[in-house]
Structure 1
């Protein structure tokens, strides 16, 4: 009988660390504390973990080829997500076809059509906008899992976080640090994550500062005028706390803050989503709302395998699998 291959989950459980940490050690995507890194490496050796590409063929799974469509691969979040999906899919002998929609709904529609024409057995999609579930997906007999973002109406599975609650917690965090003029910078609310995060921020602002108007700036993805818009926003509202909707937006904010000569965290405390490598090299602290991206990617693959294996069992219903977030407090 063939021995079941060791997975990243097995390593994480044995070592007592998160799957994210194991992924970072294997892929070298982030620095990991030396002691933890050595523990993971010892566990890898002890359990004889092998990279997916070196594994021999196993029993054919319920699906052998999936398509992955991201909203915008330039976002740091999706780089790690796609890497995780590919790794876990390979561990299950599943090939991955990938394409990016570049935040263009028409391109997304073409990508979906192309994937269906390639006869993929399943699709993992991060939708561009909040529109209705695409007709071609409803017509196709293919399991679909939505990840990070979701359509306004659908009857499939979504894997991600509670975006509204995470932004509420982020606003409460900044208020707890003494901020009294908290702002939010995000992309248009036609994007699911931004709609939810703005809603959470507004609720937090209303609870802590009743009677004050929320301070929200929506930027276009094109970025051609972001610098000036952020500069005007900071000058008009003079926030002492700022919640950035993505790490990419935080990067743009940092450029403006440097230009204005604002002191962080004395004059402006910043909290952003997603811990990025470049944050380690700032000379001032920026706190982070971390998403368990690796766990989300693992769950997305596990879920699509489950749907493929049970595709004719019962009526499809909307399912949300939500992971908790953590706040890395660098303002201590």
Structure 2
């Protein structure tokens, strides 16, 4: 049936229009046999939900956008899954955008130009500067994710990166390690995540009365396994190599562990290693990786709830900064 409507599907399946709507939107509270009957009708009639019509009727499409720098990065993939789960609880769909960290792409998403029907945007910016973001068209509600320091009219959800990095470094010092290196320092001022984790690392050293040795904090271009491996190789080549390393991401830590083993040394025997993000592979690596675990589900819930509250309420209401929890997960790499 060309141009089948919700009403047509309901009549074909012998159910109410509300039931069809619940099934199409993924509402799990529909009985399985009813859901299957509706899905069969949807397929037979070749029904396609009309988001434009819904937008005109209600003022909202039931779709939000999530934009991240690199979806291929495990942390962002896991965060996206958590956002989809949180949105599903509100019968909302999520459009995923990969900006590649390009400031023009980030601004385009922030202005709602990637899809004119989205009700709002969750954005994890990497290079978008504050001045440019402040000039954006504010008709589309925006919630920022991540550690960038912005003073703009938008809600912001993040974890305390400084405290989290401090906790990871303090954990290594408490294990009796004395030459604690850090992999993740960057010179680019846009990478606030690196700056904040560096600050937490340095604060923990100072608190323990340990002097900072700049040779133990090599710069890296990005948070990848390859960069972690290269930085660890350089550290092991020092006359006095480190006995512990705090890596600003689990991918950096994975590369660092590989370099330690390539050098004929052991983790944690010769070098204790801790990462950041608690991505899934940390549970299964050998040794399993100690890490800082941001509460991704809480972060996602806070972000989705803040965005939906903004779309349903006063767009000019005071904006807030919300903090998700983090915890230290101790595994074999520092045991």
- Normalised-by-shorter TM-score class: 0.7 to 0.9
Q: Is the 8 A contact 1:265 1:285 kept in 2?
A: no
Instruction: Determine the C-alpha separation between the residues in 1 that align with 2:220 and 2:291.
Output: 20
- CA gap 1:299/1:114 in 2 versus in 1, 3 angstroms: closer
- CA gap 1:97/1:262 in 2 versus in 1, 3 angstroms: same
- Helix, strand or coil at the partner of 2:113: helix
* Residue 202 of structure 1, CA deviation: 0.9
Is 1:179 equivalent to 2:177 in the alignment?
Answer: yes
- CA gap 1:107/1:218 in 2 versus in 1, 3 angstroms: farther
State the partner residue of 2:326: 325
Instruction: Determine the C-alpha separation between the residues in 2 that align with 1:246 and 1:98.
Output: 22
Q: Which segments of 5 or more consecutive residues in structure 1 lack a partner in the other structure?
A: 6-46
Q: Which segments of 5 or more consecutive residues in structure 2 lack a partner in the other structure?
A: 1-17, 23-27, 39-48
* Residue 211 of structure 1, CA deviation: 3.5
Instruction: Determine the C-alpha separation between the residues in 1 that align with 2:282 and 2:62.
Output: 38
Instruction: Determine the C-alpha separation between the residues in 2 that align with 1:224 and 1:270.
Output: 14
Q: Is the 8 A contact 1:187 1:218 kept in 2?
A: yes
Normalising by structure 2, we get a TM-score of: 0.74
* Residue 230 of structure 1, CA deviation: 3.1
Is 1:148 equivalent to 2:146 in the alignment?
Answer: yes
Q: Is the 8 A contact 1:63 1:305 kept in 2?
A: no
Normalising by structure 1, we get a TM-score of: 0.75
Instruction: Determine the C-alpha separation between the residues in 2 that align with 1:256 and 1:178.
Output: 22
Instruction: Determine the C-alpha separation between the residues in 2 that align with 1:156 and 1:245.
Output: 27
Instruction: Determine the C-alpha separation between the residues in 2 that align with 1:224 and 1:150.
Output: 23
- CA gap 1:248/1:224 in 2 versus in 1, 3 angstroms: closer
* Residue 167 of structure 1, CA deviation: 0.5
Q: What is the number of equivalent residue pairs in this alignment?
A: 285
- Helix, strand or coil at the partner of 1:141: coil
- CA gap 1:285/1:205 in 2 versus in 1, 3 angstroms: same
Which deviations, in whole Å up to 9, do the C-alpha atoms of 1:128-178 show, x marking residues without a partner? 136215347632312111112335332321112100010011111111011
- CA gap 1:235/1:81 in 2 versus in 1, 3 angstroms: same
1:126-275 to 2 correspondences below 5 Å = 126-129=124-127, 131-132=129-130, 134-135=132-133, 138-186=136-184, 188=186, 189-214=189-214, 215-221=216-222, 226=227, 227-236=229-238, 238-275=241-278
Give 1 or 2 for the bigger CA radius of gyration. 2
Q: Is the 8 A contact 1:65 1:96 kept in 2?
A: yes
Q: Is the 8 A contact 1:133 1:151 kept in 2?
A: no
Pick the aligned partner of 2:299 from 296, 301, 307.
Answer: 296
Q: Is the 8 A contact 1:72 1:78 kept in 2?
A: yes
Q: Is the 8 A contact 2:68 2:97 kept in 1?
A: yes
Bigger relative contact order (CA 8 A; separation at least 6): 1
Instruction: Determine the C-alpha separation between the residues in 2 that align with 1:233 and 1:104.
Output: 31
State the partner residue of 1:22: none
The answer to which of 108-117 and 272-281 deviates more is: 108-117
Is 1:279 equivalent to 2:282 in the alignment?
Answer: yes
Pick the aligned partner of 1:95 from 89, 93, 96.
Answer: 93
User: What is the root-mean-square deviation of aligned Cα atoms in Å?
Assistant: 3.3
- CA gap 1:266/1:274 in 2 versus in 1, 3 angstroms: same
- Helix, strand or coil at the partner of 2:233: helix
